[in-house]
Structure 1
Amino acid sequence: MSLRILLTNDDGVDAPGLAVMLEIARALSDDVWIVAPDGNQSGAGHRFTFGRELSLDERGPRRFAVVGGSPADCVVAGMTHVLGDRPADLVLSGVNAGQNLGDIVNCSGTAAGAREGVLQGAIGIAMSQSMDFEVSHTPNWSNARRFGAEVVQAILAAKLEDDVFFNVNFPFCAETEVTGLAAVAHQRFSRSPIRHYPSDNAGKFFMAIPETPMPLDPAADFEVLRRGNAITVTPFALQQTHQAALARLGTIALKGQ
């Protein structure tokens, strides 16, 4: 039986990166479905739309947009409704226009698509094509196109049955300069990179990432991608309980008890 693949993203159903992901998926299977937001949902994280009606807009064979929905909404709609009695084996989220590294993954709609895929019983892989925003705001998708299917096959071949989703970033160097696939930890920043950023319009402001918090771990995803020209893959655990802290909390009690 062919691998059933569900695609989603946070840039919207018409985003160029989703077309790249479709190329990647079709190199792996002929049973590929798309359920993606009808518009940009970057930074939506793992938000669900509760208390407000959503709708599915069929855009073509096996291609649907969730009107007003988040990436997590899309995966749930795909896994529990669109695909009927046979949900996807693999959820691929992306390819995002721009890198998703370090603590930024916590607010990433791309990452949330893969995370919800695992929560729904599939293998979940998020993919992002990194960019040098000082040079251009238009992604070069060549590395995602060239290596995407091979990266997915490598992850599947590892036969990891752990409770994780995978976050993949492709470097923005030339194809011939890619040094390989590196399994790395994510960069834990010294503080949140998200900051208040003033607008030119009086009384208005943006949420932005004006600079990268320092210092950076040379062995973590940020620097391995940027300086090492490697395709980075990071497994993120779904069981988030900190066991050492849990053990310490287990020794405390209320006064008088």
Structure 2
Amino acid sequence: MKKILITNDDSFEAKGLSVLIDAVKDLGEIYIVAPAFPKSACSHSLTITKPLRFIKLDKNFYKLDDGTPTDCVYLSFPEIFDGKKPDLVLSGINHGANLGEDVTYSGTAGGAMEGALHGIPSIAFSQVLKSFDNPPSEVNWENAKNIARDITKKVLDGKITIPHRHILNVNIPNTKKIKGIKATKLGYRLYGNDAHKHTNPRGEEFYWIGLHPLAFKEENGSDFDAIKNSYVSITPIKLDITGYEALEKLKNEINN
């Protein structure tokens, strides 16, 4: 039986985590290691400045106090798998989209990336919380559950392959009827700045970073385009982030 490690960045209590567990619980031997507290936007960060502690919650279910998704995957090898590795790493289901360059911030993607670094096929799942073309509504978690199960099963059965040191970044639209699944590229996210300056009761100033709108450049074939049109987006992401076109240009420039 395949061993499947599940983590997330919304904490061990997150709805998306319970949905993902329920989706794949009969596809293999399930292990869960999740952060004790929400770790959104922690990216692929590893904790090296303080000790971390596993707290067992149930059979094969642990929270890591006070760890990131990357810590959860990294430390599971010696603690949970006795120095071995699981067959698959799943991260999510995130409460919110991870589209375009937002994957560089994403703790959900970071957990999957840690699996990929160790040669383990890994998938990051995210649920878009607002639809682009419908009024905001409650998330249809049953859709998310079915999509996560279908993709995970196809990976385990070899019908979808994940190349070495790649992850699959999956985003699920918030719509009642999903039209299908599309293989996509990362889109071009348009960024602003939503920093709020406040003063605490002692008169000290502080900033609180907000959440600016999910704006993007219109591009056919992008993950944004798929989600906007009610399709699930699957984007393969490789950990080698070298800019190869720029590399060739740079070689010519430094040699001239």
**TM-score (norm: length of structure 1):** 0.88
Show the counterpart of 1:184.
184
- Once the two structures are TM-superposed, the CA of residue 74 in structure 1 deviates from its matched residue by 0.5
Show the counterpart of 1:3.
2
Cα RMSD (Å) of the superposition?
A: 2.1
In structure 2, the residue corresponding to 1:186 is in which secondary structure?
Answer: coil
Unaligned runs of 5+ residues in structure 2 are none
Show the counterpart of 2:163.
161
CA distance, structure 2, for counterparts of residue 80 and residue 249 of structure 1: 42
- Once the two structures are TM-superposed, the CA of residue 54 in structure 1 deviates from its matched residue by 0.9
Stretch moving more, 56-65 or 80-89: 80-89
Instruction: Write out aligned runs for 1:69-218 (5 A).
Output: 69-132=67-130, 135-136=136-137, 139-155=139-155, 156-174=158-176, 177-189=177-189, 191=190, 193=191, 195-199=193-197, 201=199, 203-218=205-220
Contact 2:121 2:164 (8 Å CA) reproduced: no
- Once the two structures are TM-superposed, the CA of residue 59 in structure 1 deviates from its matched residue by 1.0
1:17 lines up with 2:16 in the alignment: yes
Unaligned runs of 5+ residues in structure 1 are none
CA distance, structure 1, for counterparts of residue 78 and residue 70 of structure 2: 12
CA distance, structure 2, for counterparts of residue 107 and residue 79 of structure 1: 24
- Once the two structures are TM-superposed, the CA of residue 194 in structure 1 deviates from its matched residue by 5.5
In structure 2, the residue corresponding to 1:112 is in which secondary structure?
Answer: helix
CA deviations on 1:136-195 (whole Å, 9 max, x unpaired) are: 5x5331211122111122344123434310110111111xx2111110001123x5x252
Contact 2:162 2:168 (8 Å CA) reproduced: no
Show the counterpart of 1:247.
248
- Once the two structures are TM-superposed, the CA of residue 131 in structure 1 deviates from its matched residue by 1.2
- Once the two structures are TM-superposed, the CA of residue 232 in structure 1 deviates from its matched residue by 0.9
In structure 2, the residue corresponding to 1:251 is in which secondary structure?
Answer: helix
CA deviations on 1:8-35 (whole Å, 9 max, x unpaired) are: 0000011111111111221311x11011
CA distance, structure 2, for counterparts of residue 23 and residue 32 of structure 1: 10
CA deviations on 1:45-64 (whole Å, 9 max, x unpaired) are: 11111121111111111111
In structure 2, the residue corresponding to 1:36 is in which secondary structure?
Answer: strand
CA distance, structure 2, for counterparts of residue 214 and residue 99 of structure 1: 13
Distance 1:51 1:201, change over 3 A: closer
Aligned-partner residue type, residue 32 of structure 1: I
CA distance, structure 1, for counterparts of residue 56 and residue 74 of structure 2: 16
**TM-score (norm: length of structure 2):** 0.88
Contact 2:171 2:232 (8 Å CA) reproduced: yes
Aligned-partner residue type, residue 178 of structure 2: V
Instruction: Write out aligned runs for 1:25-104 (5 A).
Output: 25-29=24-28, 31-104=29-102
